Structure formats: C-alpha cells, structure tokens
Amino acid sequence: MDLLDILTDKGLRREPPTREEALAVLATTDDQLLEVVAAAGRVRRQWFGRRVKLNYLVNLKSGLCPEDCSYCSQRLGSKAEILKYTWLKPDQAAEAAAAGVAGGAKRVCLVASGRGPTDRDIDRVADTIAAIKGADEHVEVCACLGLLSDNQAERLKAAGADAYNHNLNTSEATYGDITTTHTYADRVDTVAKAHGAGLSACSGLIAGMGESDEDLVDVVFALRELDPDSVPVNFLIPFEGTPLAEEWNLTPQRCLRILAMVRFVCPDIEVRIAGGREVHLRSMQPLGLHIANSIFLGDYLTSEGQAGQADLDMIKDAGFEVEGAAETTLPRHRARAAAGCGGHQEESACGTGGGCGTGCGPCGGHGEAPEAVEAASSTASTASEDEARTDLVRVRRRGAGTELAPNA
C-alpha cells in the first residue's frame, strides 16, 4: 500500500498519520500534487460531503496592539499603512456582520487587536453579540480577543458566543522567534480556557514564515492534541512595514500540500482556508476546496480578499455548495460529543485519548516510514523572487471602520 492509500484509509477511519507520513505529504512532488489532492478530497468528502462553510470577519478594533507578533500588520512598531480605529459600537459591528450573513456566512468572527480583553471589553463584546443575535438568532458567533483571563470565557459563553479562536500559529520550538511579548504556553492556556467554558475551540496556524516542514508538522500535531473543532490555515501575507515583509516562501502547490497534511492529521475537523488564500493559492483556490471545507467570505482583518460574489461563484463552479444555516458543520460523532461534554475524548480524530493522540501508539502507523520521507526538506520550499505577487497584498479600505460598504 503506498503512502496516499495509507493516508486515505486512515482518514476514512478517523485515524491520524504518523509524523513521518505527515512529513512525507509535504515532500511529495508537483507531479504527485493532483494525487495528493484527490486522496485528501476523499477524506474531506467522507466527513463533510461537498459543503463549504462560509465565515465572515468583523474587525472590532484595528491596529494599536502592544504585542510584537512579527507576522501581524497590527503589531507594536508596524509601519504597515492599515486602518487604525478603536472599538466599533455594537450597532456598527452588527451592521457589518449582517452584510456577511446576507452573503451566505453562517459564522461571524468578532476580532479585536490587543494582548487580551479587559472586563469592560468583554461587556462591549457581549453587547455586540446581543445585537448580532438579535438580528439573526441562528448565526454562529466566534470571538477572537487575544489571551483570556479567568472567567472571561465563561462570560462570553453566557453572552451567547458559540466559539473562541486563538491560534498557535507555529511550533513551540520556533515560537520565540516570532513573538516575544507572550509565550506559546499562554496561547495553549487560552484554548484550554475556551474548551473549559464549553465554547467550541478554534485554533490554527500560519504557514510561510520561514518555518521548516518539521515545524509545520509539530504545530498541526499540537493542534490535534488541543482538540479544536476548527483549524484555520493561514498563509502569511507579507505586509510591507512588518518584520516578515520579505518572506515570500509559498507556492500554490506548497499551500495545497500543507492543506492536505492538515486534513490527513485532522480528518473529521473543520479545516478552514483563512488569510492569504488569494495571495498564495491564486488561480488554484478551487483545488483547495477539495481539501478544506470552510473559507472566509470577502475581506480579512486588514487586507482585502477577492469579491464575495467571486467566492460564491468559485464554490458553485467547483461543484460544491454553500453550507446552509440549518446544517450541522461537524460530522455527527463530533457534534454529539461537543454537545455532550464540550470535548471529544476518544471519538475524536483530533483528540488526546489513547495511542491515536500521537500517531505512534497501538493504533498509530504502519511500520517503517515511507521512502518519500528521505526527500523531506528541512526548510520550507521557496518561491523564486519573480513569482512573488506583491501586487495581491491590498490593505483593506472598506467595510468595518470605514464609510464604504463591506465586501461580502
């Protein structure tokens, strides 16, 4: 049985690959790319059919952040010419959210820059959630406010939040090279707080920061241990004015291999193509839908995406359908577990129970690592300088915080 047959078989059984197999996915060649996409696509269709969940970002507070995350245009010391504004009023945020819902989004993600919310900030967000759900009680609301203090997750849950996002971003070993004002452990703690409060945990990564294949596999397996319901995969947008402005390390082919690796490690989880989709996947975005079952509609926090209608056309043309508000995103076994206890335990393919949590226990791998692992590069594949599409990095000038209509 070759590598892709093994990975497909495991994914259909909700069993993770070994680390060596995950590395081997990243080491596949461009000639093998369509086979990799097809294998990951089988797993995706097993658990999510041909549905695509649409999510919509509302940037409640832009810029002015005291943290020094090197990838972020809102960081301390950023010279990126992004929009800067303080908290939107609840009615302003609800109006922005309504545009996304009207465009087909079933989840609204409320994001605010900063280290973490104060108790007054939690009150603001609670009022915003009430305004959004007052207009549509069925819309899912995910908050992304930074590091949480004790009892803040519980207050968000009581206010009507359905989920909380806090990404790990990169491996624990390299985290200190990216951020110095907080730690990897701080991020893990916040995801645990969200879980503990009964919120659906959302946590993902950023690819393209100069990390190695091993770093990518490390962070995805760490995410698996945290057992989130959704994993957003961001591709670095190298903003001028940030420390990583010259990091153009991604090709469309590498992005697809990264998405496939994430799908194989977390087969029955919501995998979302997040920031950088248009910049790095470009004309190959439709292939990404064969792997991921979730995308953001329209614009991002500080950058512009493609037109919302173009997203909808792409989904239809690729043979997929927008997931309806009444449909449950997660497979039945995960949805039942989430409703019952806030965690997923042994039933989860991204859980921590038994040997499946590490991929090397009683139900882990199939003997020796595939020969393809020997070809795995210790550094990320890089795009040649003339392939860098800097023209696709566009600062957001519409929607929340402006007088212009949002893109949805």
Q: Give the domain ranges of the chain.
A: 3-369+375-392
Region of poorest pLDDT, from 28-32, 293-297, 322-326, 343-347? 343-347
**Does residue 180 or residue 79 have the better pLDDT?**
180
| Contacts for 208 with CB less than 8 Å, ≥ 6 apart | 235, 236, 238, 247, 248, 249, 250, 276, 280, 380
Q: Which tokens is 374 given?
A: 């020997």
Please provide the average confidence, as pLDDT, over all residues in the chain. Answer: 87
Q: Which tokens is 208 given?
A: 């393209």
Cα dihedral across residues 122, 126, 129, 131: positive or negative: negative
Cα dihedral across residues 76, 80, 86, 87: positive or negative: negative
CA 329 vs. chain centroid, Å, equals 15
The band of 300, judged by pLDDT with boundaries at 50, 70 and 90, is: confident
How far is Cα 14 from Cα 349, in angstroms, rounded to an integer? 5
Catalytically active residues are 65, 69, 72, 109, 142, 202, 272
The band of 369, judged by pLDDT with boundaries at 50, 70 and 90, is: very low
Region of poorest pLDDT, from 93-97, 129-133, 347-351, 401-405? 347-351
Mark out the alpha helices in 160-307 (DSSP H runs). Answer: 175-178, 184-196, 213-226, 252-265, 285-289
Any idea what DSSP says for residue 199? P
How far is Cα 133 from Cα 140, in angstroms, rounded to an integer? 8
Distances (CA, A) of 131 to 9, 89, 120, 136, 387: 45, 10, 17, 9, 44
Mean pLDDT of 274-284: 95
As to burial, measured by CB atoms within 10 angstroms (0-12 exposed, 13-18 middle, 19+ buried), residue 154 is middle
User: Considering only the top CATH level, what class is 3-369+375-392?
Assistant: alpha beta
The band of 146, judged by pLDDT with boundaries at 50, 70 and 90, is: very high
Q: What are the tens digits of pLDDT across the range 76-121?
A: 777 777 778 899 999 999 999 999 999 999 999 999 999 999 999 9
Tell me what pLDDT residue 404 has: 82
Tell me what pLDDT residue 399 has: 80
Q: Is the pLDDT of residue 356 over 50?
A: no
How far is Cα 307 from Cα 208, in angstroms, rounded to an integer? 24
Q: Is the pLDDT of residue 362 over 50?
A: no
Region of poorest pLDDT, from 241-255, 320-334, 337-351? 337-351
CB-CB contact of 229 with 39 (8 Å): no
Q: What are the tens digits of pLDDT across the range 214-227?
A: 999 999 999 999 99
